[in-house]
Structure 1
């Protein structure tokens, strides 16, 4: 039986150290971490690796339920997949596990709360953007990646994985940029 930790933050400038320290303190021998949105499971390769790795009796630990995801259905499907593999899911804050029946109820409610919180965040963000636009102060988001550099690296013959490693992003981001560049051409 292994204790496997999973840590996630949404953006590249956020820090994983607190989650990693907590998971190590809980005795996780294996910890997978990634910096990607929890809005859906798309592009979350480390989470997919963890799920594939789970064996009967293993325990998947996360510091908070929203680290698994912000969509109730995704979280419940993920928990179901873990259980199909004979593994348990444990959330450290608040401490809830799928080892008991009550844990399922609590995790369902926490999943709904995480989804509501995401909706509230998006609503506040939308309102803030509208206020900024009305005041003439909104300029949109700033580009986080140099798209021309990515296209140039591809033209030099580098593959998506090598490009992603070179510029510090996911392969999915590279694919999106390369696809968008073909549409613009």
Structure 2
């Protein structure tokens, strides 16, 4: 069975092109989601990997829709291979784990994708640094009311209770705790 997986990074992006490409390849079942590239936070990817069976081939349109690092790529491909499932990338010709040449091509393209991700992160960091130096970047919004945490601690509340009350981790409470209380 041909099984497809499609992904875009944000909810305002459209999956249509990927879904059409996978359908044109004959996919009988397609899993799709609008999530960032981190593997752990993609439930439909996990459902897809759990769904495929021996003899199936998993299709994606491009490698960056499937994995964002060589480690993730190799881990998922090993998982598929151990179950007798092939992998094919529709828009990157030659990427097909059912052939030796396809396996080689997959390694090369996976390395290029990881390199591009690194370059993108580097450019983003440079942009943030430039914005900070110009005074335009203020960082993310505050998620924890530090004053309230400190007040609760000064009132004698246990750090674990403060964490539960505030809906934050104990580590966050300890980070905000005055150093003479540690």
Could you say which residue in structure 2 is the equivalent of 1:138? 137
- Deviating above 2 A after TM superposition, structure 1's stretches of 4 or more consecutive aligned residues are 139-143, 178-185
Change (3 A) 1:16 1:44: same
Could you say which residue in structure 1 is the equivalent of 2:49? 51
Counterpart-to-counterpart distance in 2, 1:3 and 1:122: 34
> Secondary structure at 1:6's aligned position in 2?
strand
Deviation at 1:74, TM superposition (A): 0.8
Deviation at 1:181, TM superposition (A): 3.0
Change (3 A) 1:45 1:132: same
* Structure 2 unaligned regions, length at least 5: 143-163, 174-182
Deviation at 1:133, TM superposition (A): 1.2
State yes or no: 1:181 paired with 2:179.
no
Q: Deviations over 1:51-71 (max 9, x none)?
A: 111111101000001111111
Structure number, greater radius of gyration: 2
Could you say which residue in structure 1 is the equivalent of 2:8? 9
Change (3 A) 1:73 1:179: farther
Deviation at 1:182, TM superposition (A): 3.3
Could you say which residue in structure 1 is the equivalent of 2:61? 63
> Secondary structure at 2:39's aligned position in 1?
coil
State yes or no: 1:19 paired with 2:5.
no
Counterpart-to-counterpart distance in 2, 1:111 and 1:132: 32
Q: Deviations over 1:22-42 (max 9, x none)?
A: 11111111110112222x321
1:30-49 equivalent positions in 2, closer than 5 A: 30-38=29-37, 40-49=38-47
* Structure 1 unaligned regions, length at least 5: 144-177
Deviation at 1:180, TM superposition (A): 7.3
> Secondary structure at 2:45's aligned position in 1?
helix
Counterpart-to-counterpart distance in 2, 1:142 and 1:111: 35
Counterpart-to-counterpart distance in 2, 1:56 and 1:46: 19
